[in-house]
Amino acid sequence: MIHCIEKNPFIPLIEQVFSNEYNYTGDLANLHKVLEKLPTESKEECIKIFTIGKDDRRNIFIKNFHKYVDESDQFTQTYHRFLKKYVQPLFPDDKIVIQKTPNIRFSFPESAAIGKHATENKDIIGYHCDSDFGHHHTEMNFIVPVTKMFGTNSLYYEPHQDSQIPIPDYENLVLSTTQFFQAYLNKQRHYNKLNLTNKTRISFDLRVIPYKKYMEHLADFQGTKFELGKYYIIL
């Protein structure tokens, strides 16, 4: 399901990160131009297609983002304000447990935002659903774009769980920067393709669990990285 927002509050913050780090003041959809200025090793870290969960955090741009989140509370304040305004109302009966820091994804031209997984098909990169990686079935997923998401810079997803739709026929997620996406990616399978759009895609993804459901399944979370205060916090 696609939801609309008035103004995307994350764009100026992410612009600030790359202006501070690289003096880059252009359109974020052309952020790949910064890659030319990086030392070869950092550039390769950014554009190589990683193995899911193993080395996908080595990307220098992802590190730049996390440094910014750690050093200032501006991002966290904006993130919480966004969730209170647009996501909390989608759960009217309950407070919500949210992913403490969202994942940031970069899909550069000729690369992809997520890594390889068990698939032989080069056109289908990182095919999975989140429960494959130990995510809890009570999670709901949200994707918030920072640049326009379209075609091969975006993802492809199964419109509903157990759809039996052939993988190459999955839906392409098209989002403007004044929209965000909600889906049950815990069970709806999804993947990336090689980005052939000439535009960088930057987006956030995060998970939300209604508080009562989290408490009902508390034992599943205890002793794992998904405990409150670690991966999740109460909004």
Q: Tokens 């297609």 identify what position?
A: 49
Name the closest residue to Fe ion (Cβ). Answer: 130
Note whether 172 and 148 are within 8 A (CB).
Answer: no
Q: Which is nearer to Fe ion, 68 or 106 (CB)?
A: 106
Q: Which is nearer to Fe ion, 130 or 139 (CB)?
A: 130
- Could you tell me the smallest distance in angstroms from the CB atom of residue 185 to Fe ion? 5
Contact range with Fe ion by CB under 5 A, out of 5-13, 56-64, 98-106, 127-135: 127-135
- Could you tell me the smallest distance in angstroms from the CB atom of residue 71 to Fe ion? 28
Binding-residue pattern over the window 40 to 59 for Fe ion, x denoting contact by CB under 5 A: --------------------
- Could you tell me the smallest distance in angstroms from the CB atom of residue 6 to Fe ion? 28
Strands 155-157 and 190-192: antiparallel
List the one residue from 45, 56, 130, 158 that touches Fe ion (CB under 5 A).
Answer: 130
Angle, helices 10-22 vs 74-82, to 10°: value is 160
Q: HEC profile for 152-172?
A: HHCEEECCCCCCCCCHHHCEE
- Could you tell me the smallest distance in angstroms from the CB atom of residue 191 to Fe ion? 9
Contact range with Fe ion by CB under 5 A, out of 1-9, 63-71, 130-138, 207-215: 130-138
- Could you tell me the smallest distance in angstroms from the CB atom of residue 53 to Fe ion? 11
Q: Which is nearer to Fe ion, 18 or 111 (CB)?
A: 111
Count residues contacting Fe ion (CB under 5 A)?
1
Contact range with Fe ion by CB under 5 A, out of 3-11, 105-113, 123-131, 164-172: 123-131
3-state SS class at 179: strand
List the structure tokens of 115. Answer: 């890594």
Q: Which is nearer to Fe ion, 8 or 192 (CB)?
A: 192
At 14, give phi and psi (nearest 5°): -70, -35
Helices (H), the chain: 10-22, 32-35, 40-47, 60-71, 74-82, 211-216, 218-221
- Could you tell me the smallest distance in angstroms from the CB atom of residue 52 to Fe ion? 9
Q: Which residues contact 96 (CB under 8 A, 6 or more apart)?
A: 83, 87, 88, 208, 209, 210, 211, 234, 235
List the structure tokens of 54. Answer: 């193993």
Q: Which residues of this protein are in contact with Fe ion, per CB under 5 A?
A: 130
